[in-house]
Structure 1
């Protein structure tokens, strides 16, 4: 995953710069690739093999650096006096979403397994926590995108 992340990061900055005002949509498409990869991985009622696990891990590594698109958007759209605050909020949004999904995943996994050994079915059910966080992100993205394209300030009323 580290090697894949390093390699794709060389191209992510160029992609972000070239995408310009379409960066959010490009980022959403990249996120959709990650979501689809995990969906395919978890769709099987029986555990996947090492090759499938490797492919989903590499796909995750290849799509994760696009999360940095948010920093470019903050830098380009906010006044200079607010860039540091916007960057911090952008970073914390991703961090908090990850922590909420991780904690909920663990709680669901533990509850579904009834404290016993984890099964493939337990993991598949626990992924609902991640799906909920992705859904919340999608709704937030759609609302924010509509406001921005309608000409409203990202934080305005």
Structure 2
């Protein structure tokens, strides 16, 4: 199915496209509309654009949060934590006040903003940008599926540690 968002991807629209492809529509294809292109407010597959049903980040939250809600994904704690990072990064990108959240989530959000800028510079083609960013969001999602690492007695060596952690998300 064809989904539409604005061209020149950044953090929220990149994360939302990842979310759509991973959890909503595995066969999703993306079209990147120009910033002056009109949005069809009735199209349920437009996202991250003012006027779209899954609109851009606003007082109702990030586009990522709207996709979570619309597609009943808010019960996945790893996705909820990832959305908190996206929200922190969006707030940083827009110079909005920080919302109270754990420090690690805030730092990851700032990193997502920085990495999003880097992807935009390295990948002027939005589809390439999305493909390059996909492993990052896959890795963060996997990380958030793990229990609190500080509370675990992790094996001493990296090979044993990785094997153990893989068994936890298995």
In proportion to residue count, which structure has more helix? 1
What TM-score, normalized by structure 1, do the two folds share?
A: 0.36
In proportion to residue count, which structure has more strand? 2
What TM-score, normalized by structure 2, do the two folds share?
A: 0.34
Bigger CA radius of gyration: 1
